[in-house]
Structure 1
Amino acid sequence: MAVRTESDVQALLEQANLKEEDLLPETQVLHFSPDYLPEQDNVLLIELDKTLLNSFKEGQSAVLRGDPEESAVLCTNDKTYEIRGAMTSNSLLLVPELFVPSQAVGKRTLVHRQISSIHHSYLEVVPCKPHFHKLQQLLEECPYEGPDETQSSSGHRYSLNELQDRIQCSEEELEAGLKSLGAYHIYGFWQIPNFDYQFKIVSHITNLIGEREWSVDAIPYEEALNELSKLEPRTVMAQCLDYHLHPMHAEREEDGYSLHALNGDKVCRLYGEVLLRTARGMKLDEFNTMWKNSVPKGLITNLNQLNGLVLLDRSSPATVITYFPASELPLDIKSRLETLFDVQEKWTYDEIRPFLDDLADSKNPVSTLLMKHARGFTVDGTKYYSERYSK
């Protein structure tokens, strides 16, 4: 191996029209190592953005998650990143002992470094939404049906650690996802309530509000929990109240009980789903009347509360509303849109958006998904979307 000297370096600088005073004094001379390989399968390069790099410098950890049939994601304590393969026409040299000189002045020195491999591909990480579809599927394996010992136990119940191993998201996102699904932590396991049981315990809440003549915006939390715990396990009722109520940051004057308000959107959505689950389709006017009369006094119903849960058929003189939950649709965008366009030939953006929200992210919002996978057209000033290619 020829050894480059300081005079060689000086000659190269002159050939390149570079002034030595413009450069740092340390020169690192690169050589191929004796065991050099053009590509090393046991070494992967990964590109990090500043946020992720700084989190590692601060001592935070990360973990790769994904079952064998899934693409891997990188999870920190609070964020999830999709990992993608990328190619570059440049040659990426892997030099284990390469360093950044720290002094700007000094005598020219030469340091010899060895190149262990050259790479033309690397991994990049891109922020992505947590993958919660699988979370709901796992929790549905064994829904909670109440304290009765005779309830079915054929499915598997998952602890938080087990869910962290299976779900592609960060710990903070997982806990937020469990809460958003209305899951309960019971005896060390996370479960979502069976729909009938969920309606039962929410009915306990609304019945108590009616009996005590409480305002839906002024429910004494502790008193409600004490009374409801006579009907169902206290840990269940506490989590049910936390999901369906929110604090008003006020107290009842006579006893200091904190006051909470009923979450009208969640409760109205639940009551609307109860009506629609048992019907193949209802005239919208009839449904609205029944729905309005079924919810607790003080709550106001509106169709936006049923986004992603119902389908409106306006093709006939009387609009028909049908139970059509987005949670039962395919998980990949192409199959999802095929199903939607089979059910309804054309959609406005506002109509189709609730059925695509769970597949969208900051890089690919619903509008981008439609632009890529559907055909947009305008009729009488209204924009519609249909399948890209006619069958």
Structure 2
Amino acid sequence: MNAENVMEVDETKIEPPYIRTPEDVKQIIEFARMDERNLTPVTQSFYFPSNNCSNERFRLLELNPHLLKTIRDGGIMSFKGGLHESAVLCTNEKTYEVKETEISNSLVLVPELKFAAQTSSSPLKSPRIGADSSMERINNKDDSDDDEVAIERVLEQKKILKIFYEYYECREIQPRFRKLNDLLLMTRFSGPENEYMIEKKLLFTFSQLLDTIQCSRKQFEEGLKKVRALIIDGFVRVLDCEYEFRIINLMMAVITENSWPLDGIEKDETIAALEGIAPKQIVEGIFNIYTHPVDSNPGKFQYKEELLARIIAVNILKPGLKFRVEEFMSDWQDALVEGYKVDQKYLQGIGIIDLESKPPCIRSLNEENLTTNLQDRIDLLFKIKTSWILEEIESYLEYFTTPTMNVSTLLAKYARSFVVDGVRRYVSKYK
């Protein structure tokens, strides 16, 4: 460096940082017209960080009782979110949306700050209180000095690590399962003969998906049950709908062939009957999902009527097709094993009954394929049907509910309602 460009600094002219002294504190107490005897002998002096000390590693997070208990109990908490996702905070049971919120009054972070009891000269004594007497002593200069006591003041320096102008608030939300379904559909299992078409790098293990999906572990396990996921060769997979329907039909045929009662299904015999037709792990996985043990008949199982009815309805209700209500209900019932009954409530989230069309019809409307934008979804729903009852529309709006906002509350904000023949119906807010 050229010596001519060097700037000499006179260190004697650099002012050191201001450090408060006990005399400064006494003077401030006097200016504030306070009686020093009413104060503890320890004074903590705060020092603000320099302008270039932002301490970005600190964040202020508001905790509700559940989150606080999780921390105190040594539980697991984790933030989740991809590149284009807003962050969520997950415990083992719940999921919280995390949003930054401004604070009306700034807050400071001061390590090892002492409170009043810690600054008292004796744990058995507390400072005398009474602002009136303090003011009296200062105003009445002619009073006797017998009551005056010299207080040896201790001055402690406290550095402010960060000043907060905002904090993160946590609001409990529904688990975000949409990404789970999207990821699993890319590698859906449609039979061993089609596995050569699956991109292996798109397969996910249980732990990889758990780290990716924005929900708690408990909710994640519930979500896997909801999409009827199986573990195949160590990876989480869902079945192609038509392939799953084909296996279910074969399992139903086993019931008929053996003349089993509905509450007397044999697991081992069902799996053995399909040996060579479908992989054992597939048949066993489907059996575990679609059945439950019969308490009154140990070792026997019974199929879940709703799951059977829904997989059949999905395969009948092809997108773009409409069915007359009577015809659909008849075909749907005929496809079920004798003894099981179809019910319109089993269509929730997969199909709708439109009594306003001429003639009345049933058509496909799968909730999993709808937009995740609330206003756009509501606009679409009222475009498909001009009026809904709560039971019809509920399954299409549950995605947006929270513990403090149910579907009825959402509809009160985004729709209008009226009562016809004792039944409340909802229509678009803008019609």
TM-score bin (small chain) = 0.7 to 0.9
Distance 1:357 1:17, change over 3 A: farther
Assess if the C-alpha contact under 8 Å between 1:37 and 1:118 holds in 2: no
Assess if the C-alpha contact under 8 Å between 1:139 and 1:191 holds in 2: yes
Assess if the C-alpha contact under 8 Å between 2:49 and 2:160 holds in 1: no
SS of the aligned residue for 1:282 comes to strand
1:104-154 deviation line (CA, Å, top 9, x unaligned): 435876643222232121001122221001100110011001122555214
- Identity over aligned pairs, percent: 27
Distance 1:219 1:291, change over 3 A: same
Counterparts of 1:297 and 1:104, CA distance in 2: 80
Q: How does 1:191-270 map to 2 (within 5 A)?
A: 191-251=237-297, 258-270=299-311
TM-score normalised over the length of structure 1: 0.87
The alpha-carbon deviation at position 39 of structure 1 amounts to 6.2
Pair 1:361 & 2:407 matched: no
Larger mean Cα displacement after TM superposition, 298-307 or 373-382: 373-382
Counterparts of 1:138 and 1:198, CA distance in 2: 18
Larger strand proportion of the pair: 1
Counterparts of 1:243 and 1:260, CA distance in 2: 11
Number of matched pairs:
381
Counterparts of 2:318 and 2:271, CA distance in 1: 29
Pair 1:180 & 2:226 matched: yes
The alpha-carbon deviation at position 268 of structure 1 amounts to 0.9
The alpha-carbon deviation at position 324 of structure 1 amounts to 1.4
Counterparts of 1:200 and 1:244, CA distance in 2: 14
Pair 1:105 & 2:151 matched: no
Pair 1:57 & 2:72 matched: yes
Counterparts of 2:106 and 2:31, CA distance in 1: 21
Distance 1:336 1:118, change over 3 A: same
SS of the aligned residue for 1:51 comes to helix
Distance 1:74 1:150, change over 3 A: closer
Pick one of 333, 346, 356 that aligns with 1:292: 333
The alpha-carbon deviation at position 91 of structure 1 amounts to 2.2
The alpha-carbon deviation at position 384 of structure 1 amounts to 2.7
The alpha-carbon deviation at position 389 of structure 1 amounts to 2.5
1:318-353 deviation line (CA, Å, top 9, x unaligned): 421111111111111111011111112222222211
Assess if the C-alpha contact under 8 Å between 1:30 and 1:115 holds in 2: no
Q: Which residue of 2 aligns with 1:96?
A: 111
SS of the aligned residue for 1:98 comes to coil
Larger mean Cα displacement after TM superposition, 222-231 or 167-176: 222-231
The alpha-carbon deviation at position 7 of structure 1 amounts to 6.0
Pick one of 145, 162, 168 that aligns with 1:123: 168
Letter matched to residue 324 of structure 1? L
Q: Which residue of 1 aligns with 2:20?
A: 2
Counterparts of 1:372 and 1:361, CA distance in 2: 15
SS of the aligned residue for 2:100 comes to strand
Q: Which residue of 2 aligns with 1:372?
A: 413
Letter matched to residue 300 of structure 1? K
Counterparts of 1:203 and 1:56, CA distance in 2: 49
Letter matched to residue 327 of structure 2? E
Distance 1:92 1:26, change over 3 A: farther
The alpha-carbon deviation at position 36 of structure 1 amounts to 6.0
The alpha-carbon deviation at position 210 of structure 1 amounts to 0.9
Listed as ranges, the gaps of 5+ residues in structure 1 are 253-257
Pair 1:341 & 2:382 matched: yes
1:75-112 deviation line (CA, Å, top 9, x unaligned): 22332111111222122111122255568435876643
Listed as ranges, the gaps of 5+ residues in structure 2 are 1-18, 128-153
Structure index of larger Rg: 2
Assess if the C-alpha contact under 8 Å between 2:172 and 2:402 holds in 1: no
SS of the aligned residue for 1:222 comes to helix
Distance 1:279 1:117, change over 3 A: closer
Q: Which residue of 2 aligns with 1:66?
A: 81
The alpha-carbon deviation at position 202 of structure 1 amounts to 0.8
Distance 1:121 1:234, change over 3 A: same
Assess if the C-alpha contact under 8 Å between 2:21 and 2:155 holds in 1: no
Pick one of 176, 186, 189 that aligns with 1:141: 186
Assess if the C-alpha contact under 8 Å between 1:28 and 1:113 holds in 2: no
Assess if the C-alpha contact under 8 Å between 2:101 and 2:169 holds in 1: yes
The alpha-carbon deviation at position 370 of structure 1 amounts to 1.4
